[in-house]
Amino acid sequence: MTTTYRAVQAVHPGRLELVEREMPAPGDGEVLLEVEACGVCGADAADIKRVAPGQPRVPGHEAVGRITALGPGVPSLWRIGQRVGVGRMGGHCGLCGPCRQGHFNLCANQPVVGATCDGGYAEMMVARSSGLVAIPEELDSQDAAPILCAGIATFNALRKCGAEAGDLVAVLGIGGLGHMAVQYARRMGFKVVAAGRGQDIAQAALGLGAHIYVDTAREALADALSAMGGAQAIIATIGDAGAAAAAMAGLAPRGRMVLLGICQDALPVLSGHLVGGERSVMGSITGSPHETERALRFSVLADALPRIETLPLERAEEAYRRMRSGEVEFRMVLTMDRADRRG
C-alpha cells in the first residue's frame, strides 16, 4: 500500500516545488480524494504569493477526483469510488448566520481551498464532505475542473444579473472567466456582446457564441452598448476598476453591473447615474455545492465547456507561469498522469 503521494506546494512567495508527502487520513466529516485533475486559476497567484515562509501550502481550488477513504460522520450521500469535485469554498459549517439562511457559499466558517487549507495541486487531497460536488458522468475530469470556479462564478453571475432571454448582456474581459460567461450567456438566450482589448481575441469570442465583439482599444464599450440601446447586464470579469466603472455608462435603465474580478482600487461610481436610471452594482462569488452541480449539468446539456490546455503535475510551475503570462487559451489544467502532454 502506498504511504506517500506527490504534491506541488508553495514554499516561498511565488515559488512552487514538487515534494513527497505522507498519506493523510480524513478527519471527522472529511473524505480523502485521489485527484485526477486540478485547474490552475488566476486566484491561485494570490495564494502562492502570500504563503508564509516555513508554512507550505498546496494551491488549487478546481480539483476533481475519486473518494478513496471516508472519515467519521460523512453522510451516506458520499461513497468510496465516487467522482467528486471541490471548489474555492471548502465546505460550509451549517451553523453560522449565512448557513442558517441557506447562503452556503457565504459561510463564515468554511476553509478557502488552496489558501487556508491544502488544495488540488497534488495526487491526494483531504476535503470537507459539505463542500463536495458530484461530477456528471458525461464530463471528463479535466473539463469539469474549471467549471468548479470559472464556470460556477459566471453561471451564477448570469443567473443573478436580472436579464431575461432576448436582453442585451455584455461580458467584459474574455479570459478564463469571460470565455465561460460568453458561452453560458449565449445558451441562456441573451444577445451577447463580448468586450476585450485588441483584435486578436475577436474571432475566438465570436466562436464562443458572442453576437458582437467590441475592441475596447478602439471603441469605448459604454458608447457601443448605448448605441445598441443599453445593456441589461454587464458581467465584469476583469480586475480593472477604471474600466469596469467606465463600462457602467452603457447600462440600460434598471440595468445591473455584476462584478466578478477583484479590483485593487476603489470603484468610482456616479450616484446620479444609478439613481436616475435605477441601475445597480453587485458582487457575486462562486456558489454552493448544489448550485455548482446545476452549473455542471447545464454545461453538459448546453455543451458549454471550458477551452483548456493540460500539463502533468510535475510541470505545475510551467502551467502556473503560462497562466500568469496570459498565453493560455483559456484555462490550464493539471493532470496526475505523468505521460499527459496534451496542449
Cis before 104 (ω within 30):
no
The predicted structure's pLDDT at residue 342: 39
- Burial class for 267, CB neighbours closer than 10 Å (0-12, 13-18, 19+): middle
Give the global pTM. Answer: 0.94
The predicted structure's pLDDT at residue 14: 83
Which of 54-63, 93-102, 325-334 has the lowest average pLDDT?
A: 325-334
Domains along the sequence of the chain with CATH: 4-149+287-335 (3.90.180.10), 152-283 (3.40.50.720)
pLDDT in tens, 2-49: 899 999 999 988 889 999 999 999 999 999 999 999 999 999 999 999
CA atoms of 178 and 226, how far apart (whole Å): 21
Does residue 269 surpass a pLDDT of 60? Answer: yes
CA atoms of 197 and 119, how far apart (whole Å): 32
CB-CB neighbours of 113 under 10 Å: 29
Cell of 13: 512567495
Q: Mind giving me the DSSP string for 41-104? A: -THHHHHHHTPPTT--B---S-EEEEEEEE-TT--TT--TT-EEEE-SB----S-SHHHHTT-G
Going by their DSSP bridges, the two strands 63-70 and 124-128 should be labelled as: unpaired
CB-CB neighbours of 147 under 10 Å: 32
CA atoms of 329 and 200, how far apart (whole Å): 12
pLDDT in tens, 94-150: 999 999 999 999 999 999 999 999 999 999 999 999 999 999 999 999 999 999 999
Residue 182: strand, helix, or coil: helix
